[in-house]
């Protein structure tokens, strides 16, 4: 797969992605993408016979702990240290995020 990648192929990919590439960028990306595809081919060649498929990298047994409630901070103490807190409502004031 990696050997069939050409500068024309990279330019087609750039066109589909609405990217304007300079000639040096086309050459650079052709080389880089060819290396990525060669590595993907190398990974595909690894014999995975007998390896069970996984949905994630975590080990399913022992990776999670039971959810145990723990005491938290008292609301009054937390509000006492918060700038511009509404102590009567028991709420923190935070800046708007738009």
More confident residue, 80 or 17: 17
Here the tokens at position 16 are 């589909």
pTM above 0.85, yes or no: no
Name all domains of the chain by residue range, CATH numbers in brackets: 2-44 (1.10.20)
Digit-coded pLDDT (tens) for 17-62: 999 999 999 999 999 999 999 999 999 999 999 988 887 777 666 6
Q: How far apart are CA 81 and CA 7, in angstroms?
A: 60
**Eight-state DSSP code of residue 2:** G
Q: How far apart are CA 58 and CA 44, in angstroms?
A: 22
Using the predicted structure, report yes or no on whether residue 85 has a pLDDT greater than 70: yes
* The pLDDT of residue 61: 65
């Amino acid at each position: 797969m990696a050997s069939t990648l050409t500068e024309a192929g990279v330019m087609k990919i750039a066109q589909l992605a609405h990217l304007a590439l300079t000639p040096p960028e086309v050459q650079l990306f052709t080389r880089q993408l060819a290396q990525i595809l060669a590595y993907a081919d190398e990974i595909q060649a690894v014999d995975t016979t007998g390896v069970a498929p996984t949905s994630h990298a975590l080990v399913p047994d022992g990776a999670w702990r039971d959810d145990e409630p723990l005491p938290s901070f008292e609301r009054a103490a937390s509000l006492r240290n918060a700038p511009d807190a509404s102590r009567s409502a028991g709420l923190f004031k935070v800046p708007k995020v738009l």
